Amino acid sequence: MEKHSRPLRILTIDDEEQIQYALKAVFECQGWEAISAGDVEEGLRKFRQHRPDLVVMDYHLPKINGVKGVRMLRKENTRVPLLVFTVEDNQEVADAFLEAGATDFILKPVKALDIISRIKLHIRLMESRQGNEELAKGIGRGTLELIVGCLKKARDPLPVETIAEETGLAYQTTYRYLQYMAANDMVEVSQKYGKIGRPKQKYRLTGTME
């Protein structure tokens, strides 16, 4: 992505007018240009017309849901950061979105500081030299290197929550990348059982990654 002489342009696809209005106010306070659409079909038309730098899309949309919407947008552009709003704290839903081509997640209710920091993070990743390269379905090099960098700085194994907080990524995205890293022997996974007996997984880089 080239650095812009114009303001950052963000397309929001959400059928709730109050959310569109609130996000427009947040984005314009940052000096960003806000474009809104109420469903996927309108979003596709505005995407083609305005060529936004980043897209924010809801999960629950009329006619065409968010997962299908992500797939349709990815046919238009494989690189633009695509952040998904969801109230679903469900890794299966997250995996479906990442398989479809989503970049990251923002949980509702939306917090202004959270979405601003998430947008800035993904624009920085896109502007980095290798930020666009996809290593596997739903796994980008720039995001992977962000997680590797976090683990390199840690003395002890880290849980998903800490890695997500340190990197600025959503929990679901962080977990997905860590599963990819574990499958490719990039991290070691340890389990610690808490008081209620549910294991808490922690991650550290393998010797070849340190």
* pLDDT tens readout for residues 53-78: 999 999 889 999 999 999 999 999 98
Predicted local confidence at residue 1, as pLDDT: 43
In sequence order, the 6+-apart residues with CB closer than 8 A to the CB of 80 are 52, 53, 54, 55, 73, 126
- Alpha-carbon span 151 to 145, nearest angstrom: 10
Q: Is the pLDDT of residue 180 over 90?
A: yes
* DSSP states of 107-135: ESSP-HHHHHHHHHHHHHHHHSTTTT-EE
pTM: 0.85
Q: What angle do CA 139, 140, 146 make, to 5 degrees?
A: 110
